[in-house]
Amino acid sequence: MKTVVAVYTGQGLADPLKAVFQEVLPGCRLVNIIDDSLIGDVVKAGQVPPGVARRLIQYFHHAEELGADVILNTCSSVGEVADAARGFIGVPIVKIDEAMAAKAAIGYDRIAVLATLPSTLEPTMRLVQKQADLAGRQVTLVNGLAEGAFDALVGGKPEEHDRILLETAKRAASDADVIVLAQGSMARMESKLREETGKPVLSSPRLGVEAVKAALELAAEQGHTA
C-alpha cells in the first residue's frame, strides 16, 4: 500500500480532500499533518514568514519519516516553500495547485485568479505565470482578489463570503477566458461560479490528487526500471 502524507496549514480542506482521495486513490494510505497556526501566521504577516517556512519544512521531513511515497502540499500560500524543499526532501512533493496552474496556462490566454487573501493570490499568480513561461506562452493575468470574503468566513458568515466571491468572479470574468480558484477550499463554489459567469472554472483538489496519482505511478515505473 502506498502512503501519501498531506500537509495542511488550516482545517478546512482536510475532509473534502479525503473524499477526493477515496475516489481517485482508493487503495492509498492517507496521513494528514495539520497545523492551523501556519495560515494564521501567513495572514498576519501578509507573506510567508521565516518561522512558517521552517515549520513547514520540518513537516515535510516528518512526512518522509512517516514513510511517504509522495507528499502533498495543500496550501497555495506556501507553495514556494514546497518548491525550495524539493531539493532536499527525498520523496516527491506535489503542490495541490501546480496541475491547475499548468492547465490554465496551457489552455487559456486571459486567466483570472480568484482568491480571498493577497497572501494566496500573489503566489498563485506567480505560479500561473511560471507555468506559462515553461510552456512558452504569453498570458494575461487578471487580479481577482475578493476583499472582505476571508473576514466574512472567519466571522461565521459563509453566505457573505460566497456573495463577495461571486461578485468578484463576475467582475473578473469580463476580462478573462477562465477563472482559477487559488484556494482549494473554494472548490465547493466551482459549479456555481461556472454557471453564474459562463466561463470555465478550475479548482485544485481533484487535479492535485490526480497529480499525486501520476507521481506514484511514475515512481513505480522508475522503481521497475532501476
Q: In what order do the strands lie in the sheet with 70-73?
A: 29-34, 3-8, 70-73, 93-95
Q: Where are the alpha helices (DSSP H) in 113-189?
A: 118-135, 149-154, 158-173
Residues 15 and 82 in one domain: yes
| 83 and 178 together in one domain | no
Q: The CATH number of the domain where 178 resides is what?
A: 3.40.50.1860
In angstroms, the CA 87 to CA 47 distance is 22
pLDDT one-digit tens code per residue, 51-104: 999 999 999 999 999 999 999 999 999 999 999 999 999 999 999 999 999 999
Q: How far apart are the first and last CA of the chain?
A: 20
Domain count along the chain = 2
Q: Tell me the one-letter amino acid at 90.
A: G
Q: Give 141-195 pLDDT, tens digit per residue.
A: 999 999 999 888 889 998 999 999 999 999 999 999 999 999 988 898 999 999 9
Is the pLDDT reported for residue 112 higher than 80? yes
Where residue 132 falls among pLDDT bands split at 50, 70, 90?
Answer: very high
Same domain, yes or no: 86 and 110: no
- Identify the pLDDT of residue 10: 87
CA-CA distances (angstroms) from residue 57 to 82, 204, 211?
8, 22, 21
52 lies in the same domain as 107: no
**Which uninterrupted H or E stretch holds 30?**
strand 29-34
For the chain, the maximum distance between any two Cα atoms, rounded to a whole number of angstroms, is: 54
Pairwise CA distance, residues 143 & 217, whole Å: 35
**According to the model, what pLDDT value does residue 225 have?**
61
| pLDDT tens by residue, 91-111 | 999 999 999 999 999 999 999
**Cα separation, 103 vs 101, whole angstroms:** 5
pLDDT computed for residue 226 by the predictor: 52
Q: What pLDDT score does 150 carry?
A: 87
Residue owning grid cell 492517507: 30
State the residue range of the domain holding 56.
Answer: 3-96+206-225
Compute CA 70 distance to the chain's CA centroid, rounded to the nearest angstrom.
16
Instruction: State the pLDDT confidence band at 224, using cuts at 50, 70 and 90.
Output: low
**Domain check: are 107 and 149 in the same one?**
yes
Q: Is pLDDT above 70 for 134?
A: yes
State whether 69 and 124 are in the same domain: no
